[in-house]
Chains A and B, each alone.
Chain A
């Protein structure tokens, strides 16, 4: 699979040459393959927002290269409009950007800006709403601000999906949502990836979500990629994770705890199910609810 996103030695400084100068990125390298789900994790202030804003040309590379789908984003002749159709960006708490009175109109904002005709806009809006689980007929004429928080977030995400992007970037998609809505949203993101072949880049603090969804994780600390690999590779390094004060899924924490007590268990466990299996295997617990050792 070719790389749809390539970042090479990217640097960025805010307000250079002023007394308020602040270095945000110090040489970031990153690659995302087509149809992959990549996650970027790191503490606040590590440069995650700055990094992802390069992907749809909100920020241009000051030093280093960013190549999206073969296009070099340092190119002066870059068609920014077209890029923003291919790279959809969902910011943190996206429901704050809703402005149209009716749900359907707000979701149509993106396609309308792209210049599609009314039929095409309608088709896209319908498809986007279905993808997030808002029935087209039921919701398109609802008043935007009469919806619940979770519903408004879905409207905001649909607004980006209506552009039918190849790459979808989500910044903390489940921030502030209750567990039930969170889970539903992540399922739909998964579906989007599986059914439509969309490349997903996730920025998240929620380690359990990241462990389950991501194919590849990039750990960003202080403007640099300090770790990258599959979830199993990343989470099986307790010392590194502690150094960077990152949260680890609870199931993984248990395994690390056992290992530090000298028990021979795998350290690259990600889910409760896997932990259960591995512990039972290791400690000789019965298979499936028995009363003793088989």
Chain B
């Protein structure tokens, strides 16, 4: 609990200012590339594509100078669950996958490991890794300021359709600005209530309603504080001449450089290739090779 006090030493948003090529891309370009790659990862459905994507993303990570370990640390708490889920899928999945007949590779009682379940798991794991890398790459190489401004600029053409791009960006900025402040305040309130004998540790034994009541001493003051801050802040904004998004200029300037356009174009082509090309032939090659390798490994182990 006391560790949150040192929060004031921690920067929000995990931005690591390494100044690499990836860092220097225009945030709009990064957002577009991010979206394209997320879509590609989601819909890629072959072993080869999966491997290609993984290789490319690892390459970009290297370019960004972000340590891979750091990029993947978000997965760490979920690892045991992923392992369990993957194992269950491998052993019990009885459905279709990959457009071809499922062949049973190994059987024991009601456990069936089929080519389909193997395919499912073999595609799921790299996909998770890839998502994690993409999100980390975006947030570790782009400051929150850049992200909100980039998002606002990208969405501003939609203003013509009454889409509140400016308001959304402002909401995000204010939320990010106050997140650490609320964390500090939550900590202070927890300590104050704990000092009066409130218990925030015990769970399990208490029934649901009891547990919800227990959070009132935290939630009510925090909520009220949020309302108070909102009122004060809107008054201050009014005093500084804020009357909405019309007529505002921007301190942060985003300039698209040639390298941004090139990067986006490259990613477009790559995504198109991954999604449209037929990889079945290559897949069979990969599967065949792996199959032989596995048989060899088992026979060695057998001896």
A contacts, CB < 8 Å to B: 14-15, 20, 22, 49-50, 53, 56, 58-59, 81, 84-85, 88-89, 91, 94, 96-99, 109-110, 113-114, 145, 159-160, 163
Contact = CB atoms under 8 A, between A and B. Distances in A.
Contacts of B197: 81, 84-85, 109-110, 113-114, 163
Contact of A160 (B9, B10, B195): B195
A87 to B, nearest CB: 8
B1 interface: yes
15 contacts: A14-B5, A15-B3, A20-B9, A22-B9, A50-B5, A56-B195, A58-B191, A58-B194, A84-B195, A84-B197, A89-B192, A96-B185, A96-B188, A97-B189, A109-B193
Given A22-B6, A22-B9, A99 B216 contact: yes
Contacts of A49: 5
B221 A113 contact: no
B298 to A, nearest CB: 44
Given A96-B189, A97-B189, A14 B196 contact: no
A94 B199 CA distance: 19
Nearest to A88: B195
B196 A84 contact: yes
Contacts of A110: 196-197
A20 B217 contact: no
A58 B1 contact: yes
B225 interface: yes
Nearest to A50: B5
B188 A99 contact: no
B175 interface: no
A81 B194 CA distance: 9
Contacts of B282: none
Nearest to B8: A22
Given A96-B189, A99-B216, A20 B6 contact: yes
A163 B193 CA distance: 13
B194 A99 contact: no
Given A14-B3, A85-B197, A94-B192, A109 B217 contact: yes
A14 B192 contact: no
A163 B196 contact: yes
B285 to A, nearest CB: 46
- Nearest first, the 9 closest Cβ-Cβ pairs linking A and B are A113-B197, A14-B6, A99-B220, A97-B192, A110-B196, A89-B195, A20-B9, A59-B2, A15-B6
A163 B195 CA distance: 10
Contacts of B9: 14-15, 20, 22
B269 interface: no
Contacts of B220: 99
B198 interface: yes
A167 to B, nearest CB: 12
Contact of B221 (A56, A58, A89, A99): A99
A47 to B, nearest CB: 11
B224 interface: yes
A44 to B, nearest CB: 11
Interface string B1-36: 111011001100000000000000000000000000
Given A96-B221, A98-B221, 9 more contacts: A14-B9, A50-B5, A96-B185, A109-B198, A109-B217, A113-B196, A113-B199, A145-B224, A160-B195
A291 to B, nearest CB: 55
B193 A97 contact: yes
A110 B217 CA distance: 11
Given A113-B196, A113-B199, A163-B196, A53 B221 contact: no
A15 B199 CA distance: 24
Residue among B6, B189, B216, B225 facing the most chain A CB atoms (10 A cut-off): B6
B212 to A, nearest CB: 14
Contacts of A98: 221
A91 B195 CA distance: 10
A11 to B, nearest CB: 14
B16 to A, nearest CB: 11
Nearest to A101: B220
Nearest to B195: A89
Residue among A14, A50, A163 facing the most chain B CB atoms (10 A cut-off): A14
Residue among B6, B196, B217, B225 facing the most chain A CB atoms (10 A cut-off): B196
A97 B5 contact: no
A58 B195 contact: yes
B218 to A, nearest CB: 8
Given A20-B9, A22-B9, A113 B2 contact: no
Interface in B178-232: 185, 188-189, 191-199, 216-217, 220-221, 224-225
Nearest to B1: A58
A249 to B, nearest CB: 30
Contacts of A56: 195
A147 to B, nearest CB: 13
A98 to B, nearest CB: 7
